[in-house]
């Protein structure tokens, strides 16, 4: 009689190996796409924060300019000096002095709105600051 060799099922081992490699490849692609989208989101968030702080620095420069105008002892009335510098004066307010409003663009979609009060002695104080959406 012929002796039969034990039959090793190479097909099942190959199938399990191929299936394992396929699963690893799918998880690799999912990890790469997830990290790519996370990178894009991080860059967008970093740009938004950078734009906001640049606008805030510009807003502080305007506040400094406004303080210099308020402190200057010119013979021209304060409202005339402010309008000449390009500031908008708010009418009809309850503040005992002059209220100035100015906007600073953050990016194409947001704007930093600031309302500043100038008291009788030329003291400047920030009354209101908010980031609003421009709707674009």
Instruction: Give, in order, the Cα–Cα distances in Å from 28 to each of 15, 17, 18, 23, 41.
Output: 20, 16, 15, 9, 20
Give 1's pLDDT tier (boundaries 50, 70, 90): low
Domain count, the chain: 1
> Model's pTM, two decimal places?
0.70
Domain of 52, in residue numbers: 11-133
pLDDT of residue 124: 87
Residue 2 lies in a domain: no
72-117 per-position pLDDT tens digit: 877 888 888 888 888 888 887 888 888 999 999 998 899 999 999 9
Residue 3 lies in a domain: no
Task: Confirm if 59 and 67 have CB atoms less than 8 A apart.
Answer: no
pLDDT of residue 6: 64
32-61 per-position pLDDT tens digit: 999 999 999 999 999 999 999 999 999 999
Residue 1 lies in a domain: no
Task: Confirm if 100 and 127 have CB atoms less than 8 A apart.
Answer: no
Helix (H) / strand (E) containing 78: helix 78-84
Residue 61 lies in a domain: yes
pLDDT of residue 46: 96
Give 74's contacts (C-beta < 8 A, 6+ positions apart). Answer: 81
Residue 40 lies in a domain: yes
Residue 6 lies in a domain: no
Residue 43 lies in a domain: yes
């Amino acid at each position: 009689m012929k002796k039969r060799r034990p039959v090793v099922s190479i097909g099942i081992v190959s199938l399990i190996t191929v299936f394992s490699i396929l699963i690893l490849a799918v998880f690799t692609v999912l990890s790469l796409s997830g990290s790519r989208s996370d990178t894009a989101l991080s860059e967008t968030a970093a740009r938004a924060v950078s734009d906001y702080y640049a606008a805030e620095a510009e807003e502080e420069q305007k506040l400094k300019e406004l303080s210099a105008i308020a402190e200057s002892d010119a013979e021209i009335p304060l409202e005339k000096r402010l309008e000449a510098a390009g500031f908008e004066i708010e009418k009809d307010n309850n503040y005992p002095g002059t209220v100035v409003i100015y906007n600073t663009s953050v990016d194409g979609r947001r704007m930093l709105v600031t309302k500043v009060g100038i008291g009788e002695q030329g003291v400047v104080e920030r009354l209101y600051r908010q980031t609003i959406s421009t709707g674009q």
